[in-house]
Amino acid sequence: MNEIFKKKSNQSYDWFCGKKSSMNKWTFFEKKNIFLNQYEVYQTLFLPKKIKNLSSYHGIIFFSPSGAKSFFIKNRIQYNSKTEFFAIGKTTAKFVSKFLDKKIWIPDNPSLKEIFILIKKIFYF
């Protein structure tokens, strides 16, 4: 993000987010003198589902803290689980770590492509 906004100070941007959006980025933008117009365009609705045979899964991917929260409402990971856990980025991994005492794999860059490259590396190399 730093590279994108390196020369963009004194400009204004629109931030489309949900009601639960974590705005820990405000400080970054304020320091760069970048103004954000925040628009709440959706609300997060939790639809937790109990997953059967969870211990048979080789890996579980979390794409957001709210997705992880919904998952852990009805699911518990056994201490001796051999399942690998992945998070799209650091914020999601930090949230997931509240529920797990296991390594959470995070790609170097938070993108769908990068997380699948990481998963392939963990399972096939």
List pLDDT tens digits, range 94-125.
999 999 999 999 999 999 999 999 999 999 87
Q: What whole-number distance in Å separates Cα of residue 87 and Cα of residue 104? A: 7
With 0-12 / 13-18 / 19 or more C-beta atoms within 10 angstroms meaning exposed / middle / buried, residue 33 is exposed
**Which pTM does this prediction carry?**
0.76
Model pLDDT, residue 44: 87
List pLDDT tens digits, range 68-102.
999 999 999 988 889 999 999 999 999 999 999 99
List pLDDT tens digits, range 3-61.
556 655 667 888 888 877 665 666 777 777 888 888 899 988 899 999 999 989 999 99
Domain boundaries, the chain: 12-42, 54-124
Share of the chain above pLDDT 70, in %: 86
Model pLDDT, residue 66: 93
Model pLDDT, residue 28: 72
Q: What whole-number distance in Å separates Cα of residue 4 and Cα of residue 101? A: 35
Q: What whole-number distance in Å separates Cα of residue 48 and Cα of residue 92? A: 17
CATH number for the segment(s) 54-124: 3.40.50.10090
Tokens of 43: 């609300």
